[in-house]
Structure 1
Amino acid sequence: MLRNYEFRRYLWLQLLISAVALVVAALWLGWAAAGLVLTALIITYINFYLFTRWRYRELEELSRYLRQIASGEYSFVIRDNREGELSILKNEIFKVTVRLSEQSEYLLRDKERMSEAISDISHQLKTPLTSMGVMLDLLKQPNLPHDKQKEFLKYMQQQLERLEWLITSLLKLSKLEAGTVLFQSERVKLAELVQRALSPIEIPIEIKNIHIVLEGDTDLTLDVDKKWTIEAILNVVKNAVEHTPHGGTITLTLSRNELYTALIVADTGSGIAKEDIPHLFKRFYRGKQASESSVGIGLAMSYHILQAQKGVIEVHNGLQLGAVFTLKWYH
């Protein structure tokens, strides 16, 4: 305690006041009164010393605790349910420690997710690059027939288009997961969004002779970002097209209730494996019945787009056949 400048200054000041009090008591009241004053001062000093020593020990404990926090140790519990300034300080430091611990765990999980994402992206990019490398080696053959050259070049062009799509999709998904996308909300008709989403996949729908049925109130409106919401609907419908057999049907139902506006996408495919349902909206997850061209990005992107616009996306198997996706936008 004597190392503390404030404490030494306070002690010298108290000793000076005590000496003056003793002299005044001896001169005005006599030596007996001075003895009583001296006894009271000694008791006061002892009490003050014990109290100050206890406070310094508490402060030393807090200092040790803060050093542990600085070194990354958050397991030390310092909660104090008593009253007083030190107890309040302890509790406030404990609250800060809990927040720092949660933030540290979040950063660790984020680092792990980043590592997994880089690994997944590397794997996804490796496949088309490897294929193109093989095609280049084949094209180097001097006696390669012209029709084979055309076939290999066409295949490489397809792989390049796939690679471009994959990179674009990954960039979109990364922005969505990082929360850096600025959504521009505007009032639009849900039926119009559905029609715009169907436009890019008209050819595969026609090739598979799939019947598209639009049901419900076509005048329903939403306050959403038009471009991103079309992207979300497109990915869900595209998934339905991939899993609907030739001559099947995809039913799009528009509805609204007190809580939300919904779009239900139901197909007549084989449905979704029960063990796949909890993981279906995870990035790069491919279910047991996923097509060969699927990389597991589209549904994850739809999930994040709806989530960012106060919406949710749910999935379950139909009563008879096929999967049922429900996109909900809460009012």
Structure 2
Amino acid sequence: MSIEPFRATVVFPLAALLLVHILFLAKYSSMQPYTGYYVLFNILILIYFIALKRRLSHLEAYFKETAKTVEKELLFDDIHPLTVPKDLQEVEPLIQEINKLVIYLNRKSQVAQSFNANIAHELRAPLAELKAKMEYSLYFASVPQRCTAEMSDFIQKIDNLEEIVSQMLYVSNNNINNLNTSMQRVLLNDIITETIDTKQKEISYKRLKVETEINQAISIHGHKKLLRYAVGNIIDNAVKYSRPDGTITIRLEKRRNFISLIVADNGVGIDKRELKLIFHPYYRGENSSSYSDGYGLGLSLATWIFELHSAAIRIRSIKDRGTCVVVKFHTS
């Protein structure tokens, strides 16, 4: 982008002001009759820079608002080209360059989304066929007793893969407009209760104590299926990584401008070096292989879902002492 507008609006006026000051001070005795013009010139320059400051403030406000809009659009991989305000035509070359980048990013996003959907479709059929054959062999064929447990474990892994494929398809087939039309008032209390009920077998097996601190019905505007997955992932991790006879605390509270969901356990914890990595897709910590059969997608997808609902997730953890997950939904 050319620097001519900067020269015209800032450099040239400053140079003129400096030149007038030098001439006036250098020949002060002979310039005394023109003191009034000198004062007037300084007043005009002052007025000019006050007007320039107001214009720059307007420009700053425009870019701040644009940054907020783009940040929201990035969550949905749907960035719209920027428009040039009528009173800010001098930034048009910059906006044109930004819009070229926006078009490029949108094309890349569409290709990635299409690729994910195609991969998910291609995986669905062979996974279903493989699972059916394994289940037939397990229940109707003569399988050695020593292989039964391994086959059951393999079928569970196929179930996990099918769930991931379903999630990929669901996200790929639903753009932001579809997701918005399917949003409704969702009672977070119900999602927490349903999740605990589905994990009751594991909770009982590990003799875990689940304490809930929910004093009122709390709801948000959101997508129930996605929220069920995201909240379920947080609670599921607490159950998986808790030691036998451990305690899990789930607290839901409403404040003035936000709603907090806190899930804490006294399980194996997360190493400090891994805290920044656990949100990355496909990343699995050193404890994951011992406690979970997942593939490192759960927390990454849950984070995306929370961001979609104007929520932020934060995790504090101490290795061998436990983990605390805080999800903060902004309501205003």
User: Would you say same fold, with TM above 0.5?
Assistant: yes
Instruction: Please list the CA deviations of residues 236-280 of structure 1 after superposition, one character each: whole Å capped at 9, or x if unmatched.
Output: 100111111111111001222222111100011121122222232
Instruction: Please list the CA deviations of residues 145-201 of structure 1 after superposition, one character each: whole Å capped at 9, or x if unmatched.
Output: 92329737645543442332221122235457877533412152x322210122222
Q: Which residue number in structure 1 is paired with residue 308 of structure 2? A: 308
3-state SS of 2:221 partner: strand
Q: Which residue number in structure 1 is paired with residue 165 of structure 2? A: 167
2:271 to 270, 273, 286: 273
Q: 1:266 to 1:114 in 2, by over 3 A?
A: same
Matched letter for residue 148 of structure 1: P
Q: Which residue number in structure 2 is paired with residue 102 of structure 1? A: 101
Q: Which residue number in structure 2 is paired with residue 47 of structure 1? A: none
Does the CA-based 8 Å contact 1:312-1:327 persist in structure 2? yes
Task: Establish whether residue 293 from structure 1 lines up as the match of residue 293 from structure 2.
Answer: yes
Deviation at 1:300, TM superposition (A): 1.8
Does the CA-based 8 Å contact 2:209-2:245 persist in structure 1? yes
Matched letter for residue 243 of structure 1: Y
Structure 2 Cα separation of the partners of residues 234 and 194 of structure 1:
7
3-state SS of 2:179 partner: coil
Q: Which residue number in structure 1 is paired with residue 324 of structure 2? A: 324
Deviation at 1:225, TM superposition (A): 3.1
Q: 1:250 to 1:169 in 2, by over 3 A?
A: same
Structure 2 Cα separation of the partners of residues 202 and 210 of structure 1:
10
Does the CA-based 8 Å contact 1:177-1:304 persist in structure 2? no
Q: 1:301 to 1:180 in 2, by over 3 A?
A: farther
Does the CA-based 8 Å contact 1:318-1:324 persist in structure 2? no
Deviation at 1:107, TM superposition (A): 4.6
Structure 2 Cα separation of the partners of residues 108 and 187 of structure 1:
34
Matched letter for residue 161 of structure 1: D
Does the CA-based 8 Å contact 1:232-1:306 persist in structure 2? yes
Does the CA-based 8 Å contact 2:264-2:322 persist in structure 1? yes
Structure 2 Cα separation of the partners of residues 314 and 179 of structure 1:
28
Does the CA-based 8 Å contact 2:114-2:172 persist in structure 1? no
Structure 2 Cα separation of the partners of residues 231 and 158 of structure 1:
18
Structure 1 Cα separation of the partners of residues 319 and 251 of structure 2:
16
Does the CA-based 8 Å contact 1:80-1:90 persist in structure 2? no
Instruction: Please list the CA deviations of residues 194-230 of structure 1 after superposition, one character each: whole Å capped at 9, or x if unmatched.
Output: 1012222211111111111001424334333333222
Structure 2 Cα separation of the partners of residues 261 and 185 of structure 1:
17
Structure 1 Cα separation of the partners of residues 88 and 184 of structure 2:
45
Larger radius of gyration: 1
Give TM-score, length-normalised by structure 1.
Answer: 0.59
Matched letter for residue 165 of structure 2: I
Structure 2 Cα separation of the partners of residues 265 and 243 of structure 1:
12
Deviation at 1:117, TM superposition (A): 6.7
Does the CA-based 8 Å contact 1:78-1:91 persist in structure 2? no
Once superposed, what is the RMSD of the aligned Cα atoms?
4.1
1:181 to 179, 182, 189: 179
Q: 1:247 to 1:277 in 2, by over 3 A?
A: same
Q: Which residue number in structure 2 is paired with residue 78 of structure 1? A: 2
Q: 1:178 to 1:224 in 2, by over 3 A?
A: closer
Identity %: 21
Deviation at 1:100, TM superposition (A): 2.8
Q: 1:287 to 1:181 in 2, by over 3 A?
A: farther
Q: Which residue number in structure 2 is paired with residue 235 of structure 1? A: 233
Does the CA-based 8 Å contact 2:116-2:172 persist in structure 1? no
Give TM-score, length-normalised by structure 2.
Answer: 0.58
Structure 2 Cα separation of the partners of residues 266 and 170 of structure 1:
28
Aligned length: 239
Q: 1:275 to 1:115 in 2, by over 3 A?
A: farther
3-state SS of 2:273 partner: coil
Does the CA-based 8 Å contact 2:278-2:284 persist in structure 1? yes
Does the CA-based 8 Å contact 1:197-1:231 persist in structure 2? no
